[in-house]
Amino acid sequence: MNYMDYLFLCGSAALGGAMNSVAGGGSFMTFPAMVFAGYTPLQANVTSTLALAPGGYASAYAYRKELAAHRESWPMLITISLAGSVLGAIVLVSTPEQVFAQMVPWLLLFATLVFTFGRRILKRLPMLHHPAIARAMQFVIAFYGGYFGAGMGILMLAMLQLMGLTHIHRMNALKAVLGCAINTVAMIIYATSNQVAWHAGLIMMCGGIFGGYVGARVAQKCPPEPIRWLVSAIGFSMTAYFFTKI
């Protein structure tokens, strides 16, 4: 790889970190960028998670004032998130490379559909509005986050709505903390495998941190809906592309 490739990956991570802090869907930028740069889908998935995780820490720090409002919700949700992420990450590193490559278009399609329509569907299912169901959903979301993760942020926002939260910035703050828990555990497990592209990942971390912090600051001043539509458009485009490649 040359310097332009690394600059391209760093830029994709900066955009991904910013998107995660505003509306979610940052993996729709970093995962395809790594595949386009020549990495295998499994390497791209693992390294993308590693690269965007520090951006989540930066976002959580930027939202630190908003986090105080729901501090009592942290212990249970973080514990659930850690457990689900461990299981998902273990399943991922045990998945054969060829099998995962065949699953990528379907995973992207699922993530894009959830990102685009998930909140609307959940609003039409009032029977799900119960704390126990929301916690069970968070375990499934954490498993998914440990395994693939694209669109995980919007799933967590939907889960927090089921718990009765309505303030978007406080929801984004709690989402950032839970995402940090999920990605930290996944990173530790990924690091024990041979799938991490460390040179690219470390460079992308720098972009992810910058984008995560700046995006969180901007998110508190701008409406997230236009960003969500942009992320959806990118997700559907990437899904179509990968379906043509399998």
pLDDT tier for residue 246 given thresholds of 50, 70 and 90? low
- Please state, in angstroms and rounded to a whole number, the distance separating the CA atoms of residues 166 and 101: 38
Long-range pairs, 127-134, Cβ under 8 A, ≥24: 128/162, 129/162, 129/164, 130/162, 131/163, 133/162, 134/159, 134/160, 134/162, 134/163
Collect all residues with Cβ–Cβ distance below 8 Å to 184 and sequence separation of at least 6. 53
- The interaxial angle of helices 97-123 and 41-62, nearest 10 deg, is 40
**Contact (CB, 8 A) for 83 and 228:** no
- Please state, in angstroms and rounded to a whole number, the distance separating the CA atoms of residues 243 and 237: 10
- In one letter, which amino acid is 65? K
Q: pLDDT tens digits, residue range 128-173?
A: 666 777 788 899 999 998 998 777 877 787 777 777 776 767 777 8
Closest by Cα among 176, 158, 203, 140 to 9? 203
Amino acid 142: pLDDT: 94
Q: Which residue has the tokens 């009765």?
A: 164
**Contact (CB, 8 A) for 151 and 25:** yes
Query: Taking the CA of residue 228 as centre, how many other CA atoms within 13 Å lie in the half-sphere pointing to its CB?
Result: 17
**What is the widest separation between alpha-carbon atoms in the chain?**
53
What would the two tokens of residue 84 be?
């689900």
- In one letter, which amino acid is 180? C
Q: pLDDT tens digits, residue range 173-183?
A: 888 889 889 98
What would the two tokens of residue 11 be?
């830029």
Amino acid 139: pLDDT: 94
Amino acid 91: pLDDT: 93
Amino acid 85: pLDDT: 95
Share of the chain above pLDDT 90, in %: 16
- pTM (predicted TM-score): 0.79
- Please state, in angstroms and rounded to a whole number, the distance separating the CA atoms of residues 53 and 212: 9
- Please state, in angstroms and rounded to a whole number, the distance separating the CA atoms of residues 179 and 40: 24
Amino acid 119: pLDDT: 67
Among 21-30, 33-42, 125-134, 168-177, whose mean pLDDT is lowest? 125-134
- Please state, in angstroms and rounded to a whole number, the distance separating the CA atoms of residues 204 and 51: 5
